[in-house]
Amino acid sequence: MLIGLMGVGKTTVGRRLAKALGLNFRDADEEVERAAGRSVSEIFDDFGEAAFRDGERKVISRLLDEPPMVIALGGGAFVDPETRARIKEKGVSVWLQADVDTLVKRVSRRDTRPLLRGQDPRSVLQRLLEARTPAYAEADIHVDASAGSHQTTLDLIMRALEAREAEA
């Protein structure tokens, strides 16, 4: 389970990680969209964040009952106590960390983030980072994804997974 703020690279790195591990990859936001028959933005606009989070919780729970895979979670998914508990029970969580400056550069490339619409990305990301860090800190593995390429981030995750396996 890859967790972290929007723009940290969960989906891109997740695809590479799945390939490296010989597993399937799923993006939780895409799975929510498929289940709802509408985009994340439409869900937010039509039903609000609470309805989105409810659907997200159900989709992640379903995915956790499937065979092992790599899942990129939406930025707020791991903050939900029920989702976090299920992930701790069924999987390994990897927090991809990045500084706010890096995230601002990355999220500015696309205008598809409902939580940023009509707001200053820097202040939103700073606020989200402060609010979500206590939950993210409970992840099994922490990886700095702010510097270097997606391949560098993948290499750091693979080393951390190998070290975790060696300790078990």
Determine whether the annotation assigns residue 75 to a binding site.
yes
Phi and psi at residue 95, in whole multiples of 5°? -90, 115
DSSP one-letter code for 115: G
- Is 11 marked as a binding-site residue? yes
Residue with token string 């890096």: 102
Look at residue 96 and tell me if it is in a domain.
yes
**Does 42 fall in a domain?**
yes
Q: Considering only CA atoms, give the Rg of the chain.
A: 15
> What would the two tokens of residue 128 be?
């989200």
In a domain, 132, yes or no: yes
Instruction: Write the pLDDT tens digit of every residue in 3-45.
Output: 999 889 999 999 999 999 999 999 999 999 999 999 888 898 8
32 annotated as ligand-binding:
no
Kindly report the CATH number assigned to the domain that includes residue 88. Answer: 3.40.50.300
86 is in an annotated binding site: no
**165 belongs to a structural domain:** no
Number of domains the chain is built from: 1
Tokens for 50, please give them.
């609470």
Whether residue 167 lies inside any domain: the answer is: no
Nearest Cα neighbor of 86 from 130, 129, 44, 56 is 56
**Residue 29 marked in a binding site:** yes
| Residue 90: per-residue pLDDT | 94
* pLDDT score recorded for residue 110: 59
Residue 10 marked as a ligand binder: yes
38 is in an annotated binding site: no
CB 139 within 8 A of CB 94: yes
CA pair distance 107, 115, nearest whole angstrom: 11
pLDDT 10s digits, 44-61: 889 988 888 899 999 999
Range of the domain at 106: 2-160
Bridge partners of 27, per DSSP, are 72
Interstrand relation of 94-97 and 69-72 (parallel, antiparallel or unpaired): unpaired
The predicted model gives 113-142 an average pLDDT of 85
Residue 133 known to bind ligand: no
Q: Is residue 168 part of a domain?
A: no
12 is in an annotated binding site: yes
Q: Please check whether residue 107 lies inside any domain of the structure.
A: yes
Residue 39 DSSP SS3: coil
In a domain, 47, yes or no: yes
